[in-house]
Amino acid sequence: MRLFALSLALSTLATSALAGEERGSWAVDLEATPNQRLGFAYYVSDKFSLRPSLGGGYSSLNGAFANLGLDLRFELRPTKRVTPYAMAGVVYLHNRFSIDPSERLVTIRDPHAARLGAGLGLRTRLTDRLSIFAEGRVTRMAFDDLVSTTDAGRFPLEKPTRFDAGFGFTLRLK
């Protein structure tokens, strides 16, 4: 519930911050996290950006997975070389299958899930267009956990609440 309140508060603040010198500019994010993501950033103002992302991969436990996300980021000091930021977001998850501990293939009855999250990060500008960033976020499952059903019962594929840390590069398109 707290994560939802934070997301709503940041969204409300973003609508009031529509003026800024960076308004309308775009950037590309390449992020290494447990859910590797490629994203884009649209700067609503110099401090606020909307960041849609697409990720995916393969694991021996869960098989193929994909995610689609949207973050709202607030940069505290966007004109400085180093700036801390806060973010809130939602991500849609899709897992295809799972392998249980006895190495049997098990299908997931409902492979769809969503996570709500919030976090903090630090961005360092290397040039006018290239930045590196590091961030951490706590996420909570928004509805039914991804679960797998076996003869032995049901077991979750994802923890309901978890912490993810990541780092990446941002290329600003001018």
Residue numbers of the domain that contains 56: 2-17+24-173
Q: Is the pLDDT of residue 17 over 60?
A: no
Helix intervals (H) in the chain: 2-15
| CATH number for the domain that contains residue 61 | 2.40.160.20
Q: Is the pLDDT of residue 13 over 50?
A: no
Q: How far apart are CA 76 and CA 83, in angstroms?
A: 6
Q: For the whole prediction, is pTM greater than 0.75? A: no
pLDDT bin (cut points 50, 70, 90) of residue 129 is: very high
Query: What per-residue confidence (pLDDT) applies to 16?
Result: 39
Q: How far apart are CA 158 and CA 16, in angstroms?
A: 36
Q: Is the pLDDT of residue 95 over 50?
A: yes
Q: Of 92-101, 102-111, 126-135, give the lowest mean pLDDT range.
A: 102-111
Average pLDDT over residues 30-34: 78
Average pLDDT over residues 106-131: 84
The residue among 162 and 22 whose pLDDT is bigger is: 162
Query: What per-residue confidence (pLDDT) applies to 146?
Result: 53
Q: Is the pLDDT of residue 8 over 50?
A: no
pLDDT bin (cut points 50, 70, 90) of residue 108 is: low
Number of domains in the chain: 1
**pLDDT tens digit string along 44-55?**
998 999 999 998
**Cα atoms in the 13 Å half-sphere on the side-chain side of 173:** 11
